[in-house]
């Protein structure tokens, strides 16, 4: 027995526990010749003394796979090397305008992210606009009729479809069967996206200098004559006209005839240097209306001349004059071409020559510039009015004959 216990301690260590012992005889044939054998059952005590963790592990033991002891289970994360590696708390450097992305290795610029987001929004909007083409068949009858009238009037297709979508969102039930309700709501939505109406007004002690710019044939000269007659004859203002359009055939002659009829002075400037000699006469009046030459998109030299003239005059208002007979695409090109002159009003002419009121509405929504006047004939005085965007909408929704 003593020898057996010595072997147990030798093989299992001093922490071995004897569970049972049994003596028996083995050997010989039919147990006639045998010897005494002692069988010992022993085990190892895993529990660390005084709650201390053993410093090593038994051969073949995988510390990551064995069950947690009660002491380890109380810890979070478990106190086992290799099981849980907390993330590094080393702060990464921060830079204004950049987001440092360590996994990528390169800084991501916020400007680039915002540009990508804007591009994504544009793509989503285009997809939404294209998807509406498949929704038109299911529109209520009155709303479908409004959409077709908007498109027939020359309104931009995207604007017309977005407005239709907005009306579907805002109206429901019996409202979608009422033409007046639909038209009224459509007008409110369109008005909210346009600039304010801003005709010429008189304020302060200084005389008002108002320039009219635009392409050839847009009606600048006739519009100036209409306004000069209104201010002089009906509002009793001291009006002068200045023209720098000296290259067009008989342009000066046409204005001379108007000024003689209205009985107002006309000044002619052939070069920017002439402005200094004209200024005393201008400063003596209430308002000076400036006629400029028409300019094509490729005539950069003439555009630069006009810039020099306007820099010397310093007008408080610059009205971009556009004929309603112009296509929306061409209106956009005119606006871009004359943008260098910094127009701050839009004036539409020749409303009597076209029914494309939707084109004007679309352009006003796109530019968001204030509207000043509408002209609709050749009579001087007369045939003009302060801009009224709602009259354009009536023309789109109900027809040209109801617009004024």
Hey, how many other C-beta atoms are within 10 angstroms of the C-beta on 39? 11
Residue 375, φ and ψ in degrees, nearest 5: -120, 150
pLDDT, residue 327, reads 94
DSSP letter (8 states) at residue 233? I
Q: What is the dihedral of CA 272, 274, 279, 281, to 10 degrees?
A: -140
* Residue 114 CB burial class (10 angstroms; 0-12, 13-18, ≥19): exposed
Cα-Cα end-to-end distance for the chain: 125
Task: Find the mean pLDDT for residues 264-291.
Answer: 93
Hey, how many other C-beta atoms are within 10 angstroms of the C-beta on 164? 21
Tokens of 70: 């009660």
pLDDT at residue 70 is higher than 80: no
pLDDT at residue 187 is higher than 70: yes
Task: Find the mean pLDDT for residues 101-123.
Answer: 65
pLDDT, residue 263, reads 93
Residue 232, φ and ψ in degrees, nearest 5: -80, -50
pLDDT, residue 232, reads 94
Give the pLDDT band (50/70/90) at residue 95: very low
* Lowest model confidence (mean pLDDT) among 147-156, 293-302, 345-354: 293-302
The Cα–Cα gap between 325 and 352 comes to: 10
pLDDT, residue 271, reads 92
pLDDT, residue 10, reads 75
Q: What is the mean pLDDT of the chain?
A: 79
DSSP H helix total and E strand total for the chain? 13, 12
pLDDT, residue 81, reads 43
pLDDT at residue 98 is higher than 70: no
User: For residues 6 and 306, which has the higher predicted lDDT (pLDDT)?
Assistant: 306
Task: Find the mean pLDDT for residues 53-75.
Answer: 51
Give the pLDDT band (50/70/90) at residue 301: confident
* Lowest model confidence (mean pLDDT) among 46-55, 114-123, 142-151, 199-208: 46-55
Strand 208-213 to strand 108-109: parallel, antiparallel, or no bridges (unpaired)? unpaired
Alpha helices in 171-299 (DSSP H): 179-192, 220-229, 251-262, 275-283
pLDDT at residue 31 is higher than 90: no
pLDDT at residue 29 is higher than 70: no
The Cα–Cα gap between 356 and 187 comes to: 17
Task: Find the mean pLDDT for residues 178-200.
Answer: 92
pLDDT at residue 30 is higher than 50: no
Give the pLDDT band (50/70/90) at residue 36: low
Q: Which residues contact 210 (CB under 8 A, 6 or more apart)?
A: 200, 287, 288, 289, 290, 315, 316, 317, 318, 319
* Lowest model confidence (mean pLDDT) among 107-111, 134-138, 307-311, 320-324: 134-138
Residue tagged 């069967």 (tokens): 177
Per-residue model confidence as pLDDT tens digits over 332-375: 999 999 999 999 999 999 999 988 899 999 999 999 999 999 99
Per-residue model confidence as pLDDT tens digits over 220-271: 999 999 999 999 999 999 999 999 988 776 778 888 999 999 999 999 999 9
pTM (2 d.p.): 0.65
* Lowest model confidence (mean pLDDT) among 187-191, 193-197, 246-250, 328-332: 246-250
The Cα–Cα gap between 358 and 149 comes to: 9
Q: Which domains are assigned to the chain?
A: 1-44 (no CATH), 127-192 (no CATH), 208-402 (3.40.50.300)
Give the pLDDT band (50/70/90) at residue 79: very low
Closest CA to 95 of 106, 105, 107: 107
pLDDT, residue 7, reads 77
């Amino acid at each position: 027995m003593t020898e057996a216990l010595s072997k147990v301690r030798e093989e299992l260590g001093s922490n071995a526990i004897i569970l049972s012992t049994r003596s028996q005889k083995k050997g010989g044939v039919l147990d006639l010749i045998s010897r005494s054998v002692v069988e010992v059952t022993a085990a190892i005590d895993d529990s660390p003394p005084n709650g201390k963790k053993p410093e090593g592990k038994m051969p073949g033991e995988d510390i990551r796979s064995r069950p947690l002891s009660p002491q380890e289970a109380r810890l979070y994360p478990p106190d086992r090397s290799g099981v849980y590696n907390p993330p590094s708390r080393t702060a990464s450097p921060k830079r204004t305008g950049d987001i440092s992305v360590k996994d990528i290795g390169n800084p991501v610029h916020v400007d680039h992210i915002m540009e990508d987001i804007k591009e994504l929004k544009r793509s989503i909007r285009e997809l939404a606009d294209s998807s509406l083409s498949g929704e038109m068949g299911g529109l209520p009858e009155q709303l479908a009729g409004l959409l077709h009238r908007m498109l027939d009037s020359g309104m931009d297709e995207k604007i017309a479809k977005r407005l239709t979508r907005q009306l579907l969102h805002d109206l429901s039930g019996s409202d979608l069967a009422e033409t007046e309700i639909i038209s009224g709501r459509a007008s409110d939505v369109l008005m909210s996206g346009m600039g304010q109406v801003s005709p010429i007004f008189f304020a302060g002690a200084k005389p008002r200098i108002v320039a009219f710019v635009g392409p050839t044939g847009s009606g600048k000269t006739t519009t100036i004559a209409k306004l000069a007659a209104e201010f002089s004859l009906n509002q009793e203002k001291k009006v002068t006209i200045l023209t720098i359009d000296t290259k067009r055939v008989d342009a000066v002659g046409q204005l001379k005839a108007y000024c003689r009829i209205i009985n107002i002075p006309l000044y002619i400037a052939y070069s920017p240097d002439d402005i200094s000699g004209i200024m005393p006469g201008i400063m003596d009046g209430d308002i000076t209306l400036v006629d400029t030459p028409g300019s094509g998109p490729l005539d950069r030299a003439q555009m630069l001349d006009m810039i020099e003239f306007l820099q010397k005059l310093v007008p408080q208002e610059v009205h971009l004059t556009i004929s309603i007979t112009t296509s929306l695409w061409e209106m956009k090109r005119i606006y871009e071409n004359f943008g260098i002159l910094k127009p701050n009003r839009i004036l539409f002419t020749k409303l009597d020559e076209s029914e494309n009121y939707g084109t004007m509405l679309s352009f006003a929504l796109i530019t968001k510039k204030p509207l000043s006047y509408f002209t609709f004939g050749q009579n001087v005085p007369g045939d003009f009015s302060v801009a009224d965007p709602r009259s354009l909408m009536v023309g789109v929704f109900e027809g040209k004959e109801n617009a004024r």
